[in-house]
Amino acid sequence: MKKEIIFYDGQSMGFKEDCPVELLENNKGRTGFGIISEIPEYKILSFWDRVELIGVWNWKKEYKPKDDICDGYCWELKLRDRKGRAKYCLGYESFPRKFKELIKELNILFESNIDI
């Protein structure tokens, strides 16, 4: 089994207290700058099911606006499921379809309050 990776970071003009969120070893979850909690196995499995339904595996590597913007929201996503499927993508003031659904699922998984 491959090492699972669930990592998301997003911010605009400073830090967001719940970012980054990250799955650590032994089903531990980290939010912000060190708040660590136990994540039940069923929540992790449910998250992967939702990633599949949202279509995250089909997202492009990079999302950016057509015009230059000086300050806005930038984000980074790193995923690797137990089967070894991996996705790395990032963006700046531009988002894939159903991005907010993924944020909702991350908030459920990590009991966080990521807001874009």
Query: What is residue 102's predicted lDDT score, i.e. its pLDDT?
Result: 98
Query: What is residue 79's predicted lDDT score, i.e. its pLDDT?
Result: 98
> Does 116 fall in a domain?
no
The residue with tokens 């970071």 is: 9
- The 8-class DSSP code of residue 105 comes to H
> Does 14 fall in a domain?
yes
User: What's the CA gap between 7 and 23, in Å, rounded?
Assistant: 7
> Does 100 fall in a domain?
yes
Please give the tally of structural domains in the chain.
1
Which tokens go with 105? 């699922």
> Does 67 fall in a domain?
yes
What is the DSSP secondary-structure string of 40-83? -HHHHHHHHHHHHHHTGGG--SEE--SS--SS--EEEEEEE-TT
pTM above 0.95, yes or no: no
> Does 69 fall in a domain?
yes
Range of the domain at 59: 5-110
> Does 24 fall in a domain?
yes
Query: What is residue 14's predicted lDDT score, i.e. its pLDDT?
Result: 62
pLDDT tens digit string along 54-85?
Answer: 999 999 999 988 777 667 889 999 999 999 99
pLDDT tens digit string along 5-44?
Answer: 999 999 887 656 678 999 999 999 999 877 889 999 999 9
> Does 80 fall in a domain?
yes
